[in-house]
C-alpha cells in the first residue's frame, strides 16, 4: 500500500515540529539554575503535606464532611 504523499508530508512536518519543541524545552530547562529544576516536585510535596495536615486538623475538630467521590 502506498501512503498518501500529502498526508505523509504533513506527518513529517508535525513530527519535525514536535522534535523542535522538545529541543527548545530542554534548552530552556538547561538554562534554569539547578535549584529551580526540582522545585515543582517540592511544591507538590509541600502542598500534599499541607492538605494532609489540614485534613487531620479538621478531623480532630469533627468538621470533616465526607464526599461521595
Q: What integer is the mean pLDDT of 23-48?
A: 83
Q: What is the DSSP letter of 67?
A: -
Mean pLDDT, the chain, whole residue set = 84
Q: Using 50, 70 and 90 to split pLDDT, how confident is the model at 50? A: very high
Q: What is the pLDDT of residues 57-67, one digit of tens each?
A: 888 888 655 66
Q: What is the DSSP letter of 64?
A: -
Q: Report CA torsion sign: 48, 54, 57, 58.
A: negative
What's the rounded Cα separation, in Å, for the pair 69 and 38?
31
Q: Given a cut of 70, is residue 36 above it in pLDDT?
A: no
Residues 43 and 27 in one domain: no
pLDDT at 49: 94
Q: Identify whether 58 is part of a domain.
A: yes
Q: Are 36 and 42 in contact (CB under 8 A)?
A: no
Residues 1 and 27 in one domain: yes
pLDDT at 47: 94
Number of domains in the chain: 2
Amino acid at each position: 500500500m502506498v501512503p498518501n504523499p500529502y498526508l505523509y508530508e504533513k506527518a513529517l512536518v508535525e513530527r519535525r515540529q514536535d522534535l523542535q519543541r522538545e529541543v527548545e524545552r530542554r534548552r530552556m530547562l538547561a538554562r534554569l539554575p539547578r535549584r529551580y529544576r526540582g522545585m515543582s516536585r517540592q511544591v507538590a510535596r509541600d502542598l500534599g503535606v499541607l492538605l494532609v495536615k489540614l485534613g487531620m486538623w479538621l478531623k480532630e475538630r469533627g468538621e470533616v464532611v465526607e464526599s461521595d467521590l
